[in-house]
Chains A and B, each alone.
Chain A
Amino acid sequence: MKSIILSGLLALGFLSIHTDVQAQEIKLKGKELFGDINARQIGPAIMSGRISEIEVHPTNNRIIYIGAAGGGVWKSGNGGMSFTSIFDEQPQSIGAIALDPSNPDKNVWVGTGEVWVRNSVSAGAGIYLSTDGGTTWNYMGLKETERIAGIEINPKNSDEIYVAAMGALWGDSNERGVYKSSDAGKTWEKILFVNNTTGCSDLIMDPNDPNTLYAAMWEFRRTAWSFSSGGINSALYKTTDGGKTWNKIHNGFPKGKLGRIAITVAPSNSSVLYSVLETEKDDDKGLYRSDDAGKNWKKLNGDFGLVVRPFYFSRIVVDPKNPDVVVKAGLFGSISRDGGKTFKNLGAMHSDIHDIAFDINDSDRIYVATDGGLYRTYDGGNTMEIVENLPVSQFYHVTVDNKTPYNIYGGLQDNGSWYGPSRSPGGIEARDWMSVGAGDGFRVYKHSTKEVLYSEMQGAENIWRYDINRNQTKTIQPLAVKGEDELRFNWNAPIATSLHKPDRIFVGSQFLHMSDDMGDTWVKISPDLTTNDKKKQNQEDSGGLSKDNSGAEKHCTIFTIAESPLDENVIWVGTDDGNIQLTLDGGKTWTNTVKNITGVPANTWVYHIEASVHAKGTAYAVFDGHTANDMKAYVYKTTDFGKTWTSITTDDIEGFSRTLQEDYVNPNLLFLGTEMGLYVTIDGGQNWSKFTNNVPSVAVLHLEMHKGTNDLILATHGRGVIVLDDISPLREITPDVVEKDVHFFASKPTLIVEESGFASTSTELQFVGPNPSRDVRIIYYLKKRHTFGKMSMEIQDMEGNTLIELVPGKSKGINVVTWNGSTKQPKMAKGKTFTFGGFTSPRVQAGTYKVVMTKGKATYETTIELVNDPTSVITEKERIAQHETTMKLFNMSQDLAYLVYELDEYVTKADELINTDKKAKKIAEPVSKKLNTLKETLVITTGDNYVGTAKNQLREDISELYSKIASGFEAPSSSELENLSLLTERYEKAVKEFEKLKNKEVKKLEKYITEKGGAAITLKTYEAFIKD
């Protein structure tokens, strides 16, 4: 009966599998496409990035969580000395973090969506809970709230959670206000709602009464061209019944509209509240204090440090032990030690302070979140020290040069412009990055032939031409001229260099400016290419209750410029107000092609245009509608100079997109940068797959590809620069490839790197970006994961001799196995201690080698090639001499090892006889004694591996010379050869001496044993000994 059921099941199983294969179209998507292709997060952390939130553990001061504006959640278990990223797969824009007071080791809540709502702020997507201290995360809803400003948890009931939902920044939304869950986040009830423009920007629970909460409601709105803070709906509310009823607590507040309100309760005295108000009248703005839990308020201070830019700085924090020590976030951060009457600035650090946290045990230890990273102080805020291992830098853009290794250039939010290498000895360290711009940095371009680069600051207030060798700058931004309109530059003003003329540079205002002399002379080559909508050009009125005309809202500007790589007369321009302009005659005439696109709302920001390298009429346009509260992805392709456009997005893409990079070889391979990470298509946009191998769900603002290496470089706005090394395998994936059991991808010849310099200077707590592997890469696609049975891989020479065994990858999809060109180390003679030179493995020489992979009974083969560096000064003859000498010493080491093995076997036998056979003593003793005397000259027989080491003997001297030569690339020097000659002589002498003893003393012993009928001394063969 059982067997019948089994047969039936099997038949059904096979049938269903068969049917699936027939019915299923092969879809070129899924995580397996990328397999072992892992990205490198290279930071840097030297300037770090904006930190939006700090949360300390309530009882263990070793544990600190921080939320980055665009770089996720990081946890420290050592009191803020170092941090580890723990939130890579979730949205990286962080609003609030809260630890459950009843279970702070386990329950961690994270509300996504930063609440310091500058123009470049990223969006969140709800609230997450970890019940294992941040190892794993569960999505707990509130996705549409976009930004979460606070999370409060009842200290007596872990299931009772209150959430401050600030809501949408760029449009109306009802998903805002205060939410409450009574079932640990399974369901949510909105318990305070004002209207669809007003959200909760601050929420605090009375630490002594979980039913008492204070909620700051804020009326606010951003558009692409303006910001508005405040209105009649902003207010401060209090509940004393767990959110059933709320009352405004404004007694002592000024009349009129209010803006953003900060609120906090002194942890050591629940009656003491501090609130910072943004008000209609400037004189009313400032810090208010209540000593009766909000019944009455009194204004204490209106200093600049307290009232500056409320939308960006609205956090007030009280020392947990002293209700009169209060710190306010701001441009520099302000601290009061007299209950808020007077303030002084915190110590020197990066400006723009967003959050502050006191150590639970020692109020002199304070952590401060800034635009330029996390700082810590041990003296109450006087002296500040940056945490040097938080690579949460916010890049806007990246470019590369054509050097080897290539450099990466880019600008960052409030952290200037920088360039650094794609690899560096010992890793990419802080010292490798060069500062090449001030203010907020954006686009940086290296001149293609000169040691000159261009960088800029916000609104093209300065565009610098920087002579790298002379360390000289000249500002070259286009200036207004008589009779023409004032120039309007975007906050992130576009610059582009020409691929056709090295000295040519483009800059976009509302016009396209071109210079053929590196920015000394500018020619306008377009009319105003924007909509020039005057209603969107009133930035002086921007800000709401607090005027905020920083230039960040400048609108109706050119945002992207793309010169065709195939024709210098074909130039595309995209504007922030939705135009896609094209010239085919170098700027004489322009056509707005956006009218040929259907499906995109009018005036949607054109974030990026990619002019194809494959065809002159082909281009891609990426629209970003998020500043109009439109979070959909819009990516279009034209092949006829914009006459027609086709959408290439699918439902695979989550959230809005900003940028696209076309592969230089395969026109169907495209990379898309979105608000939630990187997407890849290998079929021209029919299917998209999210790339997650070490690329977090971070906003990708720009992409670049390096032609020489096929590396894809990501400018992320929160996780620094991320590099996907050599994406060329993705070019080869086709339906045929994924249907084969095993497919080896073409592999480029691997350069034998002759570097051997010194490495890192970084301290233990400084971030160091990893280097790319320079090993041989063996890349193959497996149709199915190999879980059961043997699978092996080895490198063979072309005659089939095994050089080394490697461990193959088993993943379904792309596998990458690396080999550094080394073979097995020599077998060394056994001594009392190690001879460290013997741990050196010889390298193979340049040439072609076989890779043989065995999977079950099947064998698959491919070849790989190693080549010498064509720029090397070492000649072929010298390489041969190096290799031959290496192998001579290698063989000498192994020969000596066998000799010592033989010797040890004879000694063992002799000693055994000495102990067991009195008659043998006379014959055996000389064997043992003389052989041991010889051995003492062959290997170290005393001492240890450190300072107790004994004098070198033959083995150690041979291995030291072996390692010296094997590790280098040059031919042996005359000094080395002289030493080799000496060692050869010593070795030959040892062999002779051993042979002599064998022929005399050992022979006698063997004869004695034979005569006594004992078992002869048996030795392994040389080959068996080496293999063993």
Chain B
Amino acid sequence: MKKLLSLCLVIFAVTSLNAQTADEIINNYFENTGGKEAWLNLKGIKMNAKVNQGGLEIPLEIYQMADGRQLTKITFQGLTIKQGVFDGTTLWNTNFQTMKAEKADAEATAMMAQESQDFPDALVNYVARGYTAELIGKETIDGTETFKVKLTKKPLTIDGQQVDNINYYYFESENFVPILVETTVKQGPQKGAISQTKMSEYQEVGGLYFPFALEQGIKGVGTAPLKIDAIVLNPELPASEFAFPEQQ
């Protein structure tokens, strides 16, 4: 399987010069990373990852399910804390002071309900989702040539106002996988700045290709790396793991 995909990559490298539209680029991306059908059949993923902040290594376990449920487990000193837990209706986090669960505000919850529908990727069936994609042009990212594609999603409501929800994808022209996604920071002290997520170390898991190294940050300010150690497809997790713990 891996060899076959590598072969495909070379072929697309040859045809890349002729790729003209955002749609073709996105289709090539899915074809090169396992096929659109396989992506659509995905029921969920579990990622074991770690971030390192100044020597402090923080292990994460991230679940994202096709029905929109998701959670992140952070393990510190043997204690596991859940953050960004969404059961389809309620978004909640663990308060680090009290170690108890607290619900997120209504806007954040609504945003999660909207954004979590993008599983496994906002680009899969983007037209059916009501999104539009536009090829902006070519740009050099990380020293390599990319296609810049603008993906316009449905607007979000932030601080009571409707705001645009646009992501810019940069697909490496040699192989059509995205190596950078940019969006505008929509709230908080960095509002208006460009948020960047860089992707690399694409590796195969069950016939699909995922980036195993992510760097997230603000353009011009710096990035924090997230290293993925393992990805499990279609993980099983009881509903109780996502539910807001009423009795604490």
A contact set with B: CB distance below 8 Å? 6, 9-10, 12-13, 30-32, 35, 38, 41, 60, 62, 75-78, 82-84, 86, 88, 105-106, 132-136, 694, 764, 770, 782, 784-791, 804-807, 810-813, 820, 822-825, 828-831, 833-835, 838-839, 841, 897, 944-946, 948
B97 on interface, CB distance cutoff 8 Å: yes
Jot down 16 A-B pairs with beta carbons below 8 A, ordered by A: A9-B14, A31-B140, A84-B191, A136-B150, A782-B143, A788-B202, A789-B201, A790-B203, A791-B213, A804-B52, A830-B78, A831-B78, A841-B54, A944-B99, A945-B98, A945-B99
Provide the B206-244 mask, 1 if CB < 8 A to any CB of A, else 0.
000100110100001110010100000000000000000
Contact A30 B143 (CB under 8 A): yes
For A791, what are the chain B residues with a Cβ–Cβ distance below 8 Å?
Answer: 200-201, 213
Also in contact, A823 and B52, with CB within 8 A (given A60-B161, A786-B200, A786-B201) = no
Query: How distant is A693 from chain B, measured CB to nearest CB, in Å?
Result: 8
Q: Report the Cα distance A782→B136, complex, angstroms.
A: 27
Apart from A31-B140, A810-B200, A945-B99, list 9 A-B contacts with CB within 8 A: A32-B143, A88-B220, A105-B163, A106-B164, A782-B143, A787-B175, A822-B55, A830-B78, A831-B79
Q: Which residue of B lies closest to A788 (CB)?
A: B202
Of the candidate stretches B5-13, B23-31, B37-45, B102-110, the one touching chain A is B5-13
Partner of A790, one of B7, B194, B201, B222: B201
Q: Report the Cα distance A106→B201, complex, angstroms.
A: 36
B113 on interface, CB distance cutoff 8 Å: no
Contact A948 B144 (CB under 8 A): no
For A785, what are the chain B residues with a Cβ–Cβ distance below 8 Å?
Answer: 142-144, 172, 179, 200
Query: How distant is A842 from chain B, measured CB to nearest CB, in Å?
Result: 8
Q: Which residue of B lies closest to A764 (CB)?
A: B189
Interface residues of B in 66-109 (CB under 8 A from A): 76-79, 96-99
B contact set with A: CB distance below 8 Å? 7, 9-11, 13-14, 52, 54-57, 76-79, 96-99, 136, 140, 142-144, 150, 161, 163-164, 166, 168, 172, 175, 177, 179, 184, 189-194, 198, 200-203, 209, 212-213, 215, 220-222, 225, 227
Partner of B175, one of A134, A788, A829: A788
Query: How distant is B174 from chain A, measured CB to nearest CB, in Å?
Result: 8
Q: Which residue of B lies closest to A32 (CB)?
A: B143
Contact A944 B97 (CB under 8 A): yes
Contact B136 A804 (CB under 8 A): no
Contact B143 A811 (CB under 8 A): yes
Query: How distant is B118 from chain A, measured CB to nearest CB, in Å?
Result: 19
The 7 closest A-B pairs by CB, nearest first: A822-B55, A32-B143, A830-B78, A812-B143, A841-B55, A84-B192, A807-B225
Query: How distant is A220 from chain B, measured CB to nearest CB, in Å?
Result: 36
Q: Report the Cα distance A237→B148, complex, angstroms.
A: 44
Q: Which residue of A lies closest to B186 (CB)?
A: A77
Query: How distant is A298 from chain B, measured CB to nearest CB, in Å?
Result: 44
Partner of A948, one of B11, B98, B189, B212: B98
Contact A820 B54 (CB under 8 A): yes
Contact B143 A9 (CB under 8 A): no
Q: Report the Cα distance A830→B81, complex, angstroms.
A: 13
Query: How distant is B41 from chain A, measured CB to nearest CB, in Å?
Result: 23
Contact B164 A946 (CB under 8 A): no
Q: Report the Cα distance A739→B172, complex, angstroms.
A: 21
Query: How distant is A360 from chain B, measured CB to nearest CB, in Å?
Result: 15
Also in contact, A810 and B164, with CB within 8 A (given A135-B194, A694-B220, A945-B97) = no
Query: How distant is B12 from chain A, measured CB to nearest CB, in Å?
Result: 10
Contact B184 A13 (CB under 8 A): no
Partner of B57, one of A132, A825, A829: A825
Contact B77 A838 (CB under 8 A): yes
Query: How distant is A806 from chain B, measured CB to nearest CB, in Å?
Result: 8
For A823, what are the chain B residues with a Cβ–Cβ distance below 8 Å?
Answer: 55
Q: Report the Cα distance A804→B200, complex, angstroms.
A: 20
For B192, what are the chain A residues with a Cβ–Cβ distance below 8 Å?
Answer: 75-77, 83-84, 86, 134
Q: Which of A9, A105, A785 has the most CB of B within 10 A?
A: A785
For A9, what are the chain B residues with a Cβ–Cβ distance below 8 Å?
Answer: 11, 14
Q: Which residue of B lies closest to A781 (CB)?
A: B143
Q: Report the Cα distance A12→B150, complex, angstroms.
A: 32
